[in-house]
């Protein structure tokens, strides 16, 4: 069986990828420090045992469910990771273990940089040494505030980076290129959709929550563009990457929408949604990405509409409105409360 390491595999993306790889007959292994005390590994176990859906597992009672086997560790623990690579012949390594997101990285500037940069250096070196193919998630966020008529491709020169998350990502890309294992660096759009670690603060999920619960969405910089895509589509893109590995850096998203367009879609889905324009919510990203390089290279296009992306999220909120807990968030509960004011 093909062995695949997923660092940060107890997170939003890694957990969905783990389940998909397992279903396809691969042998995935999760390495994570469970920094949010998340119950992802119990949820994976329940899904594997009971064959229930992600929505059902999110709503389920997790009492007495054991975790699946995984390797507990910090991504900066070089010795532990060296042993893991020595004992396993990983054909592919998905590297997701970081402190993630605009607000989380602004809040923990030094720690997030330390985790991202040192973890990535260790993983890149080990992939090179053991001939494992590395798939690293950078982010479309690195394009930052880049208003432009045309969609930005991978050649776009990134001049000024203000936020810590993007600084971390660019530094990690640089390290991977320097160490030079066989790599795919993806720059995915902001994701939406269900996962075993919900991440309700992601823009599509957050605006769905506000539309459903509060019938009131506060938006700043409403003319700014964001690139978004469905989390499940990203997982399918990974499967295609490992079946037909082609080294390179690729943007990947499906929709470039202004925040105003996004809230108008949500407004049409619910009765009486009030849209409130506010100032200075912090994140001033404004970007449109061009994913044609990925589409041509891998013959894959993510083409879900925004409604299709958020319908399962809304369906979950309809079923279980009190679903939000600290283990799902990359920000504190206080910050989440401010975000949904």
Ligand X SMILES: NC(=O)c1ccc[n+]([C@@H]2O[C@H](COP(=O)([O-])OP(=O)(O)OC[C@H]3O[C@@H](n4cnc5c(N)ncnc54)[C@H](O)[C@@H]3O)[C@@H](O)[C@H]2O)c1
- Cβ proximity to ligand X: between 112 and 132 the closer is 112
Residue 202 beta carbon to ligand X: minimum distance, rounded to whole angstroms = 5
- Cβ proximity to ligand X: between 46 and 234 the closer is 234
Residue 2 beta carbon to ligand X: minimum distance, rounded to whole angstroms = 21
- Cβ proximity to ligand X: between 202 and 210 the closer is 202
What helix, strand, coil percent values describe the chain, rounded to 5? 45, 20, 35
Residue 179 beta carbon to ligand X: minimum distance, rounded to whole angstroms = 17
Are 152 and 189 contacting, i.e. CB atoms less than 8 angstroms apart? Answer: no
Q: Residues with Cβ < 8 Å from 304, sequence gap 6 or more?
A: 229, 230, 233, 254
With tokens 């045309």, the residue in question is 150
Token output for 269: 């889905």
**Residue least distant from ligand X (Cβ):** 11
Containing H/E element for 230? strand 225-230
Residue 273 beta carbon to ligand X: minimum distance, rounded to whole angstroms = 23
Residue 80 beta carbon to ligand X: minimum distance, rounded to whole angstroms = 10
**Alpha carbon distance 96, 102 (integer Å):** 16
Residues contributing to the site for ligand X (CB under 6 A): 8, 10-14, 32-36, 74-75, 96-100, 115, 137, 139, 188, 190-191, 197, 199, 202, 330
- Cβ proximity to ligand X: between 13 and 235 the closer is 13
- Cβ proximity to ligand X: between 112 and 273 the closer is 112
Of 8, 19, 27, 17, the closest CA to residue 235 belongs to: 17
- Cβ proximity to ligand X: between 32 and 173 the closer is 32
Residue 76 beta carbon to ligand X: minimum distance, rounded to whole angstroms = 6
**Alpha carbon distance 6, 256 (integer Å):** 29
User: What are the C-alpha distances in Å from 54 to residues 27, 300, 313?
Assistant: 21, 24, 11
């Amino acid at each position: 069986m093909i062995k695949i390491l997923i660092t940060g595999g107890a997170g939003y993306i890694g957990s969905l990828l783990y389940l998909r790889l397992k279903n396809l007959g691969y042998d995935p292994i999760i390495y994570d420090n469970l920094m949010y005390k998340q119950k992802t590994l119990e949820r994976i176990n329940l899904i594997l045992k009971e064959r229930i859906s992600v929505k059902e597992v999110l709503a389920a009672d997790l009492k007495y469910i054991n975790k699946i086997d995984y390797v507990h560790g910090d991504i900066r623990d070089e010795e532990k990771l060296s042993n893991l690579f020595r004992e396993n012949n990983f054909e592919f390594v998905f590297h997701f273990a970081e402190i993630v997101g605009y607000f989380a990285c602004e809040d923990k500037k030094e720690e997030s940089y330390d985790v991202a940069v040192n973890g990535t250096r260790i993983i890149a070196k080990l992939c090179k040494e053991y001939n494992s193919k590395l798939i690293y998630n950078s982010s479309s966020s690195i394009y930052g505030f880049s208003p432009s008529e045309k969609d930005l491709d991978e050649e776009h020169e990134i001049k000024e980076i203000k936020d810590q998350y993007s600084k971390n990502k660019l530094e990690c890309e640089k390290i991977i290129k320097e160490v030079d294992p066989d790599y795919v660096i993806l720059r995915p759009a902001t994701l939406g959709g269900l996962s075993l670690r919900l991440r309700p603060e992601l823009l599509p999920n957050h605006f769905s929550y506000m539309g459903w619960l509060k019938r009131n969405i506060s938006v700043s910089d409403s003319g700014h563009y964001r690139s978004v895509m469905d989390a499940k589509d990203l997982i399918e893109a990974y499967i295609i990457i490992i079946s037909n590995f082609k080294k390179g850096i690729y943007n990947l998203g499906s929709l470039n929408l202004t925040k105003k367009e996004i809230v108008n879609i949500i407004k049409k889905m619910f009765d009486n949604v009030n849209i409130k324009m506010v100032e200075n919510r912090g994140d001033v990203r404004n970007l449109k990405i061009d994913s044609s390089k990925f589409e041509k290279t891998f013959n894959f296009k993510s083409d879900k509409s925004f409604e299709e992306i958020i319908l399962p999220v809304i369906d979950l909120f309809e079923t279980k409105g009190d679903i939000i807990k600290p283990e799902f968030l990359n920000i504190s509960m206080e910050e989440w409360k401010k975000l949904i004011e």
